[in-house]
Amino acid sequence: TIVVVGSLNMDLVVRAPRHPQPGETVIGSDFQTFPGGKGANQAVAAARLGARVHLVGRVGVDAFGHTLLATAQEHGVDTTFVQRDPTAPTGVALITIDSHGQNTIVVAPGANMQVTEADVLRAESVLATADMLLMQLECPLEVVIAAARLAHHHGVPVVLNPAPARPLPVDLLALVDFLIPNQLELQALAEGEADLRTAIRYLQQRGARNVVVTLAEAGAVLAEADQIIHEPAFEVPVVDTVAAGDAFVAAFCVASASGKSPQEAVRWGNAAGALAVTREGAQPSLPAYREVLRLLKV
Ligand code: ADP
């Protein structure tokens, strides 16, 4: 069982010939809505990989919230601990894509920022016997810290995907068994340090334990103590890189939770990430267990 404490957002996507200037109106087209939020995406990704998954979070009492709960459940995610909050709207991401494929994104976190430590405590009986706690940074930081502390207390490993990146207190770093940033997030966590090894060392000096950095088409590195191992990416045709990171993190957790070594779990992450870039969209592009197995056996 994997417990995910994290966000649920509805992604509202519109295409436009170009991005509007302040005060300007541009006529767009092809409006679409997609279930998203890093918490929900990673929960769905883990469920598609065959794990039992509980999601802890909040949506509003509105149509988006209803749809997000229904979609997560359709994918097999247990949403018992996702509350419907009457005081805040469901989180949304307003995404505009121009004719060059460049996007601008405004996120209104809404109910995601109303998640409390009490929400996590409500799920304590499930968390206490879970194989893994997985979190991101789209919910209040104090909730992330409280959940990490509770998992640690029960001897449950903690995985943190520090996205969107922000400085992390040392006491949180010490509670995280695997920190999984992408390159940009690593740089942001390491006060702008661009060199991979120096940035990893910086985090380790501040209390981080194991660090896994995803490197897009270069795969990923695993840093345990003073050892760094590079696992190359799988070569695949690239269609849309959205959700590659979510697929990676989820597959890493599913593999670890089933007893695989960290290095083997990184290979699982690479396989799932590679499969995700061969397909469009976020949740629709997430690979199934059998597909990952097939790619790993090549
Ligand atoms: P994010 O999506 O968070 O920016 P990355 O771009 O690092 O994260 O991608 C996450 C993982 O997805 C990588 O570690 C890799 O395993 C896989 N991946 C991403 N892009 C490609 C690609 N072009 N080819 C193969 N695998 C990829």
| Cα–Cα distance for residue pair 106/12, rounded to 1 Å | 10
- Residue 298: the pLDDT is 59
Ligand 1 pocket residue status of 273, Cβ below 6 Å: yes
| Mean confidence (pLDDT) of the chain | 95
Across 158-187, average pLDDT: 96
User: pLDDT per residue over 197-217, tens digit each?
Assistant: 999 999 999 999 999 999 999
- Residue 191: the pLDDT is 94
Q: Are 123 and 54 in contact (CB under 8 A)?
A: yes
Which residues contribute to the annotated binding site for ATP? Answer: 182, 245-246, 270
Position in ligand 1 atom list of the atom nearest CA 270: 16
Question: Ligand 1 centre from 9 Cα, in Å?
Answer: 22
Give me the residue spans of the domains in the chain: 2-8+36-90+110-297
DSSP 8-state symbol, 83: E
Question: Ligand 1 centre from 275 Cα, in Å?
Answer: 10
| Cα–Cα distance for residue pair 183/240, rounded to 1 Å | 18
Ligand 1 pocket residue status of 40, Cβ below 6 Å: no
Q: If you count them, how many residues does the chain have?
A: 298
| Cα–Cα distance for residue pair 77/70, rounded to 1 Å | 10
CATH code assigned to 2-8+36-90+110-297? 3.40.1190.20
User: pLDDT per residue over 102-132, tens digit each?
Assistant: 888 899 999 999 999 999 999 999 999 999 9
Q: Are 188 and 137 in contact (CB under 8 A)?
A: no
Catalytic residues: 246
